[in-house]
Amino acid sequence: MNQQTTQTVGVVIPFLNEEENIPVMYQRLTAAMASEPEQLKIYFVDDGSTDASARLVAELAEKDPRVKLLRLSRNFGHQIAITAGLDYADTDAVVIIDCDLQDPPEVIPGLLAQWRAGHDVVVAVRKSRDGETWLKKFLAASFYRIFHKLAKIEVPMDAGDFRLADRKVVEAMRSVRELHRFMRGLSVWVGFKQTTVTYERAARYAGSTKYPVWKSAKLAWDAITSFSGAPLRWMMGAGLTVSAAGVLLALRLVFKKIFGIDETVPGWTSQVTLLLLISGIQLMCLGLLGQYVSRLFEESKRRPLYFLQEVVDSEGSRGRDRR
């Protein structure tokens, strides 16, 4: 932790159509931070909302100089919205928290206590996951176990994006500008001194989830392909296995030919089945390789991660930017 007379902590809150949650989030966050010695700054990041969310935050920003609204030019996705908040946070520590109030802002003082104790990253780990279906809980648990095996980095089990990062960690994360982002993995990958704090996760306060199963699956795939080349190694293993099976079959036929072993041809069913199996494996491997090539192509274009439509604070609205 950087030693200064007055420490500052920024809270990055990405949101998409959260008009019912924003006023409650603001009230609970400011109440939770009222007794903390650090100076508070709040960065609401609008990821292309179509309801009254941006207007509500702009009204808060006019009244409270601690509040800043970053409006992205369109919906770039949750992970990019977090990135935008980190880019603009100029505080000694930054907390990332979602706006749905499943991650209670009352946990933030506990994160700050660990930061003051000298930790650079403090990850909030869920002890429970109220309001989520059994399928989502099962898939989440499975993903973390698979990710640990493949990526070789220790992302805490049952941890989301809710965490605190010291300024030097934020600067390290800012330097990584890859398009397909998995921020909770990135915050661990950069290193530094890390610890965890456990909490009870609540059900969503209002509105509907912005992370259905299909979007969670996409995030999981981005995580695996960003941090591991194991699927490519699996593809090679599948190819070697099929090739070995072909060689063994050829040797069997040669052996029978040499020793004059006669065998009635059983028909085409087994051959067609084998052909379809091999073709399916080839197509699957080509598709997998294509996913990695597609990501390389997208990264090679070096497009900005996002565009800002405007920044609104107590001084009003100003300028556009791209990062």
- One-letter-per-residue 3-state SS of 136-205: HHHHHHHHHHHHHHHHCCCCCCCEEEEEEEEHHHHHHHHCCCCCCCCHHHHHHHCCCCEEEEEEEECCCC
pLDDT computed for residue 241 by the predictor: 73
Q: What are phi and psi of 275, to 5 degrees?
A: -65, -45
Cβ(11)–Cβ(40) below 8 Å:
yes
pLDDT computed for residue 190 by the predictor: 86
pLDDT tens digits, 97-107 = 998 888 899 99
Q: What are phi and psi of 174, to 5 degrees?
A: -60, -30
Cβ(123)–Cβ(156) below 8 Å:
yes
- Whole-structure pTM value: 0.73
Q: What one-letter code names the amino acid at 96?
A: I
Q: What are phi and psi of 50, to 5 degrees?
A: -115, 0
User: Hey, which residues does 201 pair with through a beta bridge?
Assistant: 129
Q: 3-state DSSP call for residue 132?
A: coil
Cβ(169)–Cβ(151) below 8 Å:
no
Residues 193 and 196: their CA atoms lie apart, in Å, by 11
User: Hey, which residues does 10 pair with through a beta bridge?
Assistant: 41, 94
Cβ(18)–Cβ(207) below 8 Å:
yes
Residues 299 and 210: their CA atoms lie apart, in Å, by 26
What are the mean pLDDT values of the chain's consecutive 10-residue runs (323 residues total)? 72 92 92 88 92 90 91 90 92 92 90 92 81 67 71 75 92 86 83 87 65 65 67 68 69 70 57 66 73 74 86 71 59
| Tokens 């007379």 found at | 5
pLDDT computed for residue 77 by the predictor: 87
Cβ(165)–Cβ(81) below 8 Å:
no
Cβ(156)–Cβ(149) below 8 Å:
no
Long-range contacts of 206-215 (CB under 8 A, 24+ apart): 206/20, 206/21, 206/24, 207/17, 207/18, 207/20, 207/21, 207/100, 209/100, 210/16, 210/17, 210/78, 210/100, 211/78, 213/135, 213/136, 213/139
Query: What are the residues whose beta carbons fall under 8 Å from the beta carbon of 220, sequence distance 6 or more?
Result: 139, 143, 147
Q: What are phi and psi of 272, to 5 degrees?
A: -65, -40
Residues 224 and 150: their CA atoms lie apart, in Å, by 7
